[in-house]
Amino acid sequence: MTIYYDSRTGNVERFVRKIAAKTEWQCLKITGQLVALKPGHLITYTTKIGQVPESTERFMQTNHSSILSVSSSGNMNWGANFGLAADKISAKYDIPVLLKFELSGLEREVNSFIEKVNAYQPMYNF
Ligand SMILES: Cc1cc2nc3c(=O)[nH]c(=O)nc-3n(C[C@H](O)[C@H](O)[C@H](O)COP(=O)(O)O)c2cc1C
């Protein structure tokens, strides 16, 4: 499995390290050059009051066809804007939200993410 992730201040990075320690998954950080060659799950964060980070948005514009689901780190202090980047990406690219978690995530959220990825069933449109 491949995880594509974006992180500015390190919380998503820490969440991803916990996943990497429990799985054999390949975890790739989004850069301007990264091309999603394999299908995978996106983890990003919410910024600027409910917004998708620009780096995530640029990545999605060219790579969205490889992305199976979206998850967002956030902070519940932001109330209704908690993890809203996941909802915005989900609506724009028609992919499911897998998880919203606070900051670098608790152990149970790490386990929940792994379980949800393992249970993920792609939707086929015949
Ligand atoms: C300027 C700013 C705006 C933010 N806005 C939101 C927000 O609207 N909703 C939310 O859930 N979290 C918000 N956050 C919290 C971040 O999403 C959270 O700290 C996240 O873990 C950052 O991930 P990173 O450390 O991997 O960059 C904001 C943080 C900053 C600094």
Q: How far is CA 20 from CA 3, 25, 59, 113, in A?
A: 9, 6, 22, 12
Question: Mind listing the pLDDT tens digit for each residue in 76-121?
Answer: 999 999 999 999 999 999 999 999 999 999 999 999 999 999 999 8
Q: What angle do CA 66, 59, 70 make, to 5 degrees?
A: 60
Domains of the chain in sequence order: 2-118 (3.40.50.360)
Task: Compute the distance from residue 106 Cα to the ligand 1 centre, in Å.
Answer: 16
Residue to mutate, 46, 51, 97, 100, ligand 1, most ligand atoms under 8 Å from C-beta: 46
41 three-state secondary structure: strand
Question: Which residues sit with their C-beta closer than 6 Å to ligand 1?
Answer: 7-13, 45-50, 73-75, 78, 81-84, 103
CB-based contact 63:41 (threshold 8 Å): no
Q: Whose CA is nearest to atom 16 of ligand 1?
A: 74
Question: Mind listing the pLDDT tens digit for each residue in 62-75?
Answer: 999 999 999 999 99
What pTM did the predictor assign?
0.97
